A and B are shown apart, each in its own frame.
Chain A
């Protein structure tokens, strides 16, 4: 059954929400590798929502929805920002970007999840990870 948490744009609240998701994942006995991947990708999504989507604006919320089963975990993160175009992000692995301190979050989500989808506006991302 899907659960939805609405949290303030605060990294501490994000950590607590992430912990609740990971407790659910643990209940279904996901592998260490899958759990690592989910933790990494969801943390990137939450951090992006708080920092870039909502700009740390205390009046804006982040919504974390997760539906975990034996087969897969589907997680969506939605912020109240203006959105962005993920396809326009520079490639962080290009030589000229390697030593930049930011810009790797979406790339890591895509590397670790089986599926990553953004809505048209760009303020919601859905992450899917199979239990493997």
Chain B
């Protein structure tokens, strides 16, 4: 089965890199490692990374996706950067809450709110 490259929309606003996860199923198991590698690549380019991951389109979550996010979070922290997660739909937020990862990640209601916390 040909696996399409997962789509990310990457933009920049006020010195913050915004990554929009574009596909409802973008965090399916097959895509996770590819997404993780691409995000690590983006982080590596920044000296003082400020990242917002926009989850508004994401309708699925898994423990593998959470693991990828944890690794990303650590990498950003190692570079004294900051990460915000934004636009998480209630069923997805519940996964973060059940795993207590809502205590690790800074989760904002919207992309705009997330950007405002980084400036």
Q: Write the chain B residue with the least CB distance to A16.
A: B1
Residue B63 CB within 8 A of the other chain: yes
Interface size class of B (residues with CB under 8 A): 20 to 34
CB atoms of A47 and B60 under 8 A apart: no
Which B residue's beta carbon lies closest to that of A13?
Answer: B1
Q: Is A82 an interface residue (CB 8 A)?
A: no
Residues of chain A contacted by B91 (CB below 8 angstroms): 32-33, 36
* Binary contact track B63-95/A, C-beta < 8 Å → 1, others 0: 110111011011000000000000000010001
Complex interface bits, B1-37 against A, C-beta within 8 A gives 1, otherwise 0:
1010000000000000000000000001110000000
Contact B70 A14 (CB under 8 A): no
Instruction: Kindly state whether residue A98 has any CB partner on chain B within 8 Å.
Output: yes
Q: How far is the CB of B32 from chain A (nearest CB, A)?
A: 10
The chain A residue with its CB closest to the CB of B2 is A12
In chain A between 37 and 52, which residues have their CB closer than 8 angstroms to a CB of chain B?
39-40, 43-44, 47
CB pair B70–A100 under 8 Å, yes or no, is yes
Let me know if A14 and B66 touch, CB within 8 A.
no
How many residues of A are in contact with the other chain, CB < 8 A?
26
Chain A's closest residue to B74 (CB) is A99
Is A11 a contact of B30 with CB atoms below 8 Å?
yes
Q: Give Cα distance in the complex from A60 to B42, angstroms.
A: 37
Cβ–Cβ contact B28 & A15, under 8 A:
yes
State whether the Cβ of A83 lies closer than 8 Å to any Cβ in chain B. Answer: no
Tell me whether B101 and A98 are in contact (CB under 8 A): yes
Partner of A108, one of B63, B73, B103: B63
- Give 1 or 0 for each of A100-113: 1 = CB within 8 Å of chain B CB: 11111101100100
Q: Is the CB of B63 within 8 A of A44?
A: yes
- Going nearest first, the 7 A-B pairs with the smallest beta carbon separation are A101-B67, A104-B63, A105-B63, A93-B100, A101-B70, A111-B98, A11-B29
Interface residues of A (CB under 8 A from B): 11-12, 14-16, 32-33, 36, 39-40, 43-44, 47, 92-93, 98-105, 107-108, 111
B interface list, Cβ under 8 A from A: 1, 3, 28-30, 60-64, 66-68, 70-71, 73-74, 91, 95, 98-101, 103-104
